[in-house]
Structure 1
Amino acid sequence: MGDGSLRRIAALARQDARLLARDPAPLIVRTLMPLLVMGFTQPLFRAALRAGDVPDANGAEQGVPGMAVVFLFLLVNVVGFAMFREHGWHTWDRLRAGPARSFELVAGHVLVALAAALAQLAVVLGVGGALSGLRVRGSWPALAVVGVPLALCVVMAGMALVALCRSISQLTVAANLLALLLAGLGGALTPLSVLPDWARPLAPGVPSYWAMRGFSTVVLDGGGVVDVLLPAAVLCGFAAGLTVVTLVFFRSAHPKLTWS
């Protein structure tokens, strides 16, 4: 990748950042909503954890990382909208007419979306943890080791859906179903120990499971960076797979249908 390619990607990222700064409401709402939901779910999670093997739990051990994962995957919609917006504004053809290649167009959007996902995750874990009395028995850097590939996985899931979906309606339905499915199977809505019997063998097949496993290792088991390398590596594998799907199916010449 030459200097010209890097400059084009940086220019696209700066434009996306300016657009996000002009209308930050979707990101703000998806950051504040989990903080609100935690207040309602913490008593339920407290009872579930104490009924298991964490007698001194206050519920935040499940509620904070769980809601962080749930609402992070809801960011998939925002990632997709950023790409469909270009088609709705009829600016996509102008981007294609420029010197930027397809992978540069994708990379420019990925950078800003990844920064937004990391910011949302950091606020939910940090502020949510402080408000709910979360006691992290392990190391905070270990949470970051899990959080970074998780955020990348979410962003690439959004890009993969952009590549696969023809219309914004398809994207919305697919993203919402994906977020709900991953939240349930991955143990974000309930502790992994109380997942239904039919869901347990399926859980390791979704990235949210590995994210919750990594977060639980740190929060409940006192794990450090070394202890979460496996979940982080699996999340990197999911992100790589989604990147391959994006590169294989993304075609800059394919029209996208928007509500407008």
Structure 2
Amino acid sequence: MANGLPMSAELEQIDGEIQDIFRALQNGFQKLDKIKDSNRQSKQLEELTGKMRECKRLIKEFDRQFKEDESRNPPEVNKQLNEKKQSMIKELNSYVALRKTYQSSLGNKRVELFDMGAGGNDPVTEENVQLASAMSNQELIDAGNKKMDETDQAIKRSKMVVEQTIEVGSQTAANLKGQTEQMGRIVNELDTIHFSIKKASQLVKEIGRQVATDKCIMMLLFLIVCGVIAVIIVKIVHPSNKSIPDIPGLAPPAPAARRLLSIAFN
């Protein structure tokens, strides 16, 4: 726990290193006031600049670790840690501004922009630029020609990228068109298959109804035949049974048979 603020072990270690750098920066700028030689002052400023770069890196590391621990901390702790980060950024910015003041007073020919973004953003480091007043006309011309060559090369690379992008886009469009046509053919084939299945289903239903009707007729005929056979069998087994009528064509009626027998004997 640093300054009464609950922190993880990693945050405490990073915070301790940052505070050490801040103390070193404070002592370094105090010593800078006592140095009279401009070369030694420039060297001292370079050392302080290196410490500020290291401090910026540690602040980034502090922010990264803070975001990792944010879900595990209470909201109040997260608020305090964020305020502490903003305080460290603000303090570093004050040393950056102080460094620029010393560089201006020393008439340094190289100015390095090393500012923190407003609103609590991370520090942003820009490349060093050389003052035009320190360069001769020929140097300015050579630097301009070099920049123009670099710009031309960048434009050529951009054109190549654009051409490749257009080519890839055309090829993709052709592939999409072919796939669209293929999908259309597949849809038409699916419609044909669906129509064929529908017609086949109707035909199967008609055949099923026809088969059911034929089965009913065959069953009725079978029952009629069975009844006739049963009557014949009973008539043969019990010819004297009067409850069973004679089957037409199977035997003549009894009175007619007797008449025929009487005629034959007479």
TM-score when normalising by structure 2: 0.28
Structure number with larger C-alpha Rg: 2
TM-score when normalising by structure 1: 0.28
Q: Per chain length, whose mean CA-contact separation is higher, i.e. which structure has more relative contact order (CA < 8 Å, sep 6+)?
A: 1
